[in-house]
Structures are given as structure tokens and as C-alpha cells.
Amino acid sequence: MEKVTTKTFMQLKSRKEKLALLTAYDWLTARLLDECGIDGILVGDSANMVFYGQPTTLSITMDQMIYHTKAVAQAATRALVIGDMPFMSYQVDAQEALRNAGRFLKEGGAEAVKLEGGKEIVPTVRRLVGVGIPVMGHIGLVPQSVHRFGGYGVRGKGEEEAEYLVESANLLADAGCFSLILEKIPVDLAKRITEEVKIPTIGIAAGPFCDGQILVVQDMLGLFEEFKPKFVRRYAQLADQMRKAFCQYIEDVKGGKFPSIEESY
């Protein structure tokens, strides 16, 4: 299978073929995703919640993100690997953003970075793209702004915010983003943005009309059970299976049933 690049993303949009992306934070998961033909793997800052058990994405550090990105990049031979820039690694100024984005490519082995934010981050996007760092944008529900919005509700329901999102999408595309995550916005707004912008839109809780879709892998595998929003389709119930396996192991060890002579040397 041919290596997926940022160019492939654009080609798939122009051919009206859907892009399938998922998150990963470790080598094993990334290797399975890559084997199955996933187009892109996002090393998301959602790792802070589903890997580290924190209540928000805010406290994950650059060093933690680089650590996970390295593991994923090591496994992905076909998929495009995108490193998610953590909170406060790109907001202070474009210079700091550039240094941190560079680390994702140089140390982490990522092939692109993702930044949350609308038209206000356009100068930073231009700076990164200008030195050859591909940027994926992310608008709508932007989890790093959870405290500003007071939660994880649907964005873009009112006319003013919807117009802000459409304008932001166009400006981010003009600034050189190669794709754009649309998170938790009404289906009609996602459709409008997808039709208007020249770059592929990747939806999460944004309906079926986006150019591609992404989910957090622990959500779609039924591993993360803290909450289950309606946009998550569970393709497996791994938490149940793992619990069963762990309980069986404990029972076997305590009952002297594991290991058997056949499993011994």
C-alpha cells in the first residue's frame, strides 16, 4: 500500500473518497491500525484523559507528547502520523510554536502537527507551514478551551459562532492547513464548511458529510467507559473482554490451574 502523505489527503478529497483516521498513543495499537490501512494516526492530547486518567487534556506536556509520538511513528509505515500540540505549546507566540512543532517532527517522527483554534491562530499556522511543517487545524469544540466554554457542549449552534467557524475554516485553509478537524458542530454547518473549503474536513461528532472521520481509539473499542457520548460508535467491547480475561487469570492462579505442566519447562 502506498504511503499516505498530506498530498494524499487532498487527492482523496478531490476524488470524493473518505478519509479514515483514529488516535493512537502506543506502538502496538499504531501497528494494528497501520496494518488495517488507516489513513492517518493522530497522537492526540486525549492521551491525557484516556491514557493518563486526567480530567481534561490540559496538563499533558510536550515531553509526554513526544514520547507517545515516537512510539506511534515507529510503527506506522503507511499512515500519516500527526502529533497534537499540547495546551500552551503554541499559544504564547509563533516562535515557541515553531520550536515545539519542530520537536514533533525531529524527535517524535511525526509528519504533521495539529493545532486547536480559529482565525486567531492563522499567523502561527503560516509560520509553521512556511518552514515546511504540515498543519492540521481543529475548530468547533476545542477541548483545550474547556474552561472558557464551561464544558464540552456542541459549538456553532448560533449564527454568529457558525459564521466565525466558516470564516476560520477558510482562513486556515488559505494559511496552508492541509486538513481540518471539525469537532461537535451541527451537521448542516459541517456540510457547509466541507463544501466551501478546499482542504479535507475530518469530523468527530460532526455528522456524515465531512471528507473523513476520526474517533478516539479507546472510545470506539469500548475501553474507555467513563462516559459514552452518542457520536461514539463502539466497534468492540474490549473493557468487558479484558475484565473477563483478568478475572479468569486470577481465578486460575489462585486455584492452581495456571500454569499447567504443558505450559512449563
Point out which residues bind ligand KIV (CB under 6 A). 23, 42, 44-46, 84, 181, 204, 214, 216
- Using the minimum distance from each CB to ligand KIV, give the nearer residue, 15 or 86: 86
- Using the minimum distance from each CB to ligand KIV, give the nearer residue, 8 or 23: 23
Residues known to be catalytic: 183
User: Minimum distance between the CB of residue 191 and ligand KIV, rounded to whole angstroms?
Assistant: 19
User: Minimum distance between the CB of residue 225 and ligand KIV, rounded to whole angstroms?
Assistant: 17
- Using the minimum distance from each CB to ligand KIV, give the nearer residue, 79 or 216: 216
User: Minimum distance between the CB of residue 254 and ligand KIV, rounded to whole angstroms?
Assistant: 38
User: Minimum distance between the CB of residue 250 and ligand KIV, rounded to whole angstroms?
Assistant: 32
- Using the minimum distance from each CB to ligand KIV, give the nearer residue, 235 or 249: 235
- Using the minimum distance from each CB to ligand KIV, give the nearer residue, 34 or 84: 84
User: Minimum distance between the CB of residue 117 and ligand KIV, rounded to whole angstroms?
Assistant: 12
Residue by residue, DSSP assigns the chain as: -PPP-HHHHHHHHHTTPPEEEEE--SHHHHHHHHHHT-SEEEE-TTHHHHTT--SSSTT--HHHHHHHHHHHHHH-SSSEEEEEPPTTSSSS-HHHHHHHHHHHHHTT--SEEE--BSGGGHHHHHHHHHTT--EEEEEES-GGGHHHHTSSPPP--SHHHHHHHHHHHHHHHHHT-SEEEEES--HHHHHHHHHH-SSPEEEESS-TTSSEEEE-HHHHTT---S---TT---S--HHHHHHHHHHHHHHHHHTT-SS-STT--
